[in-house]
Chain A
């Protein structure tokens, strides 16, 4: 158990819908990362927050947004869902110093029908 929690574990929804994925980092970690893992694209970095502020952005679609709250938990919002958004979404956390090890949550499996 990495200490990072993600909810829900599984999510099935329809095209065009909006979903919210939630992540709680390890105790003491200030940084949260979001990733999307699909069979064709591999593990793609989406976005990173540090202590409530966005710090780095990767291949995140405009339909996706995220935020980190004062209690350091983070949410990833996916809207106007398409079939291709079906993937495993990971959250990871670290203390926040550069080059630091990230610890991953168990992931949320999203299926868009």
Chain B
């Protein structure tokens, strides 16, 4: 069975600093995708970034980058130059050959001015 582990229930970061949110996954699939979503207090789920298991380069989308270490089965999200609006819950997710997506329990990020 697939499993996503986000070990940091809460993280604090100073505005303009970088922060790394941890995610490890467990899958027996050879081909899979890894995703990060942001959920602000308003409740919507916002897609941030995607990494395919065969992608050799780490994915980047603006201030977001995904530190993908396949051998360690980790897919950490790095947010550079944090902004107050980055305060939210962040979810790591994985989907492989079964079409069943698996989400982690999330990390709450608070950005201090």
- Given A43-B91, A99-B33, verify A107-B103 contact (CB < 8 Å): no
B50 interfacial contact with A, CB 8 Å: yes
A56→B43 CA distance, assembly (Å): 25
- Point out which of A43, A55, A88, A109 has the most chain B C-beta atoms below 10 A from its C-beta: A43
Q: How large is the interface on B (under 10, 10 to 19, 20 to 34, 35 or more residues)?
A: 20 to 34
- Given A43-B91, A98-B95, A99-B32, verify A56-B100 contact (CB < 8 Å): yes
Q: A-B pairs with CB below 8 Å: how many? A: 57
The residue from A2, A42, A101, A109 contacting B103, defined by CB atoms under 8 A apart: A42
Q: How large is the interface on A (under 10, 10 to 19, 20 to 34, 35 or more residues)?
A: 20 to 34
The residue from B91, B99, B102 contacting A98, defined by CB atoms under 8 A apart: B99
Q: Nearest Cβ distance between residue A113 and chain B, in whole angstroms? A: 20
Q: Nearest Cβ distance between residue A100 and chain B, in whole angstroms? A: 7
- Given A42-B103, A45-B102, verify A101-B47 contact (CB < 8 Å): yes
- A interface residues, Cβ below 8 angstroms from B: 2, 33, 42-43, 45, 48, 55-56, 58, 88, 90, 92, 98-104, 106-107, 109
Q: What are some 26 contacts across the A-B interface (CB < 8 A)?
A: A2-B47, A42-B103, A42-B104, A42-B106, A45-B100, A45-B101, A48-B100, A58-B100, A88-B43, A98-B31, A98-B33, A98-B95, A98-B96, A99-B33, A99-B52, A99-B95, A99-B96, A100-B33, A101-B33, A101-B35, A102-B47, A104-B37, A104-B46, A106-B44, A107-B45, A109-B43
